[in-house]
Amino acid sequence: DTGVSQNPRHKITKRGQNVTFRCDPISEHNRLYWYRQTLGQGPEFLTYFQNEAQLEKSRLLSDRFSAERPKGSFSTLEIQRTEQGDSAMYLCASSLRTSGRRRETQYFGPGTRLLVL
C-alpha cells in the first residue's frame, strides 16, 4: 500500500498525558498537512509542511501542540498535557507541489482517533 499511513490508528490516554502521532506521506510528496476532525464536523486545518519547513499554522494549534517533519519525509504531531477537548480524529494528508498555480490534490490517511479520559 503506497498511500498515506498513520500510526497509531487509535489512542486512549488520560488527561494530562502527552501523546505523539506519526504520519508517513506518499513517498514522493513534498507537502504534508495535519487536520483535526471532531464528531459532526468536517476536518479543520492545523498546519502544513513543505519538505521540512513548517509554512502555516492555524490558531487552533495551541502551544500544547507541536508538529515536526525533520527530514522532510514522515511527520509527528505531539500533544502535551492532553485535555478532554483534544479528543478527535487527527488526519494527515500529503500532496506533490509542482510549479504552476493550480493547487494539487491532497491525499488523506486513515487518521488517528484520540480519546482523552
**How far apart are CB 16 and another protein at their closest, in Å?**
27
Residues that bind another protein (CB under 8 A): 4, 31, 33, 35, 40-45, 48, 55-56, 58, 91, 93, 103, 105-111, 113
67: Cβ–Cβ under 8 A, 6 or more apart, which residues? 34, 46, 47, 49, 54, 61, 75, 76, 77, 78
Residue at grid coordinates 484520540: 114
| Minimum distance of another protein from residue 102's CB (angstroms) | 8
Whichever of 33 and 65 has its CB closer to another protein, that residue is 33
Q: Which is nearer to another protein, 80 or 107 (CB)?
A: 107
